[in-house]
Structure 1
Amino acid sequence: MVRKTLSKEDSPKDITNIEKQLGDNDFIVSKTDTKGNIIYCNEIFSNIAGYKTSNLIGANHNLIRHPDMPRIAFKTLWDLVKDKKEFFGFVKNLCADGGYYWVFAYITADLDINKNIVSYTSVRRKPLKSAIETIVPIYKLLIDAEKSGGMNESARVLGDFLHKNRTSYEEFVVNLQKGE
């Protein structure tokens, strides 16, 4: 029997405002190939996302991308990890039932003996509530910028925000998660 691989088209169309939360000691762990297809995920991931582990394996990670997430966040993520740098960030993910959950994500490239990227590993944990309260209006600004001027406008708005606050992207998100 051939198993159908889930794709973005299999994401729920009826999105609700029902939030699920990770426990304070929960860690979501997943690994993708270089194209973003899931090759490993732990039980916490499958439970909160609402999919069977067997259905997540082979699916592209964008299956759980929530429409409230600005595209510039994922461009930033991919630019960093493809350059073999670490990514830290806040991500709102979509559950199979249309609900959502927030994570503070750490993503890094996995390298072979010749330092070629062979996969990516992501570890996510529960974000601070204060961090999410800060990031939600920023993400809304970035999405509005994307709607009016595309990815370039969203990148400009993000750059202006970071410059105004005299911080880098990395410092900003890490300090939010620290509660600073």
Structure 2
Amino acid sequence: MLDTRPRTGRSGRTAVRPTGEERSFAAEELIVSKTDLRGVITYANDVFLRVGAYSLDEVIGQPHNLIRHPDMPRAVFKLLWDTLAARQELFAYVNNLAADGANYWVLAHVTPSYGPDGAVVGYHSNRRRPSRRALDRIRPLYERLLAEERRHPHARAAVAASSELLGQVVAEQAASYEDFIWTVISQEEN
């Protein structure tokens, strides 16, 4: 049996333990959120709140990593932040953690948000439900990345090692991470 007792994380918030229950949402629904430059949530739509089992008051002002599932490779988030820092968009498959411990997979499209002067003022993310076929391809990759991270006791070394492995896997299959993800996305339709 999984231990679902609350625990306190580094942020002082009560951390949620995964229950192993997987949840989904309708194919036509989009989960939408916006954050400031630090990744603090400034907007969450009703689908975000329902699927994540949160109230609006519980998420506004909180770091977006509030919904980070512990089984998500850190390398994916490093890639996300590096891509956003370069003022580019990113598509990524992400396993999120709801307030009640359930998990839910998404295909996230994250973009910088720009102010009137062209400066990045925050980030916008739309997430849709991924296909089982795509997840069948992504899960083994994420398991390999997590195994690589667990081999290293220090966080920086773990992220560096899994990022290197992610780069190697992508290079074996595509010209870039973007090409790799678009290959997986295109297979969702087939």
- State TM-score, norm by structure 2: 0.87
Whether the 8 Å contact between 1:11 and 1:64 is mirrored in structure 2 is: no
The Cα of 1:31 is off from its aligned counterpart by 0.3
Q: Please, which of 36, 53, 56 is the counterpart of residue 56 of structure 2?
A: 53
Alignment of 1:90-101 (within 5 A): 90-101=93-104
Q: Please, which of 125, 145, 165 is the counterpart of residue 157 of structure 1?
A: 165
The Cα of 1:45 is off from its aligned counterpart by 0.2
Matched residue, 1:79 = 82
The Cα of 1:142 is off from its aligned counterpart by 0.6
Matched residue, 1:109 = 112
* Cα RMSD for the two superposed structures: 1.3
The Cα of 1:135 is off from its aligned counterpart by 0.6
User: What residue identity is the alignment partner of 2:109?
Assistant: Y
Matched residue, 2:121 = 118
State the secondary structure of the residue aligned to 1:30: strand
Distance 2:174 2:151 in 1: 26
Matched residue, 1:34 = 37
Distance 1:110 1:173, change over 3 A: same
Matched residue, 1:178 = 186
The Cα of 1:11 is off from its aligned counterpart by 2.9
The Cα of 1:8 is off from its aligned counterpart by 7.2
Matched residue, 1:9 = 13
Identity across matched positions, percent: 38
Runs of 5+ consecutive residues of structure 1 not aligned to the other structure: 1-6
Q: Please, which of 169, 177, 181 is the counterpart of residue 169 of structure 1?
A: 177
The Cα of 1:166 is off from its aligned counterpart by 3.2
- State TM-score, norm by structure 1: 0.91
- CA deviations on 1:13-38 (whole Å, 9 max, x unpaired) are 3x111111010101011000001110
Matched residues, number? 173
Please say if 1:141 is aligned against 2:144.
yes
Structure of higher RCO (CA pairs closer than 8 Å, 6+ residues apart): 1
Runs of 5+ consecutive residues of structure 2 not aligned to the other structure: 1-10, 153-157
Whether the 8 Å contact between 1:17 and 1:99 is mirrored in structure 2 is: yes
State the secondary structure of the residue aligned to 2:82: helix
Matched residue, 1:89 = 92
State the secondary structure of the residue aligned to 1:179: helix
Distance 1:11 1:21 in 2: 22
User: What residue identity is the alignment partner of 1:172?
Assistant: F
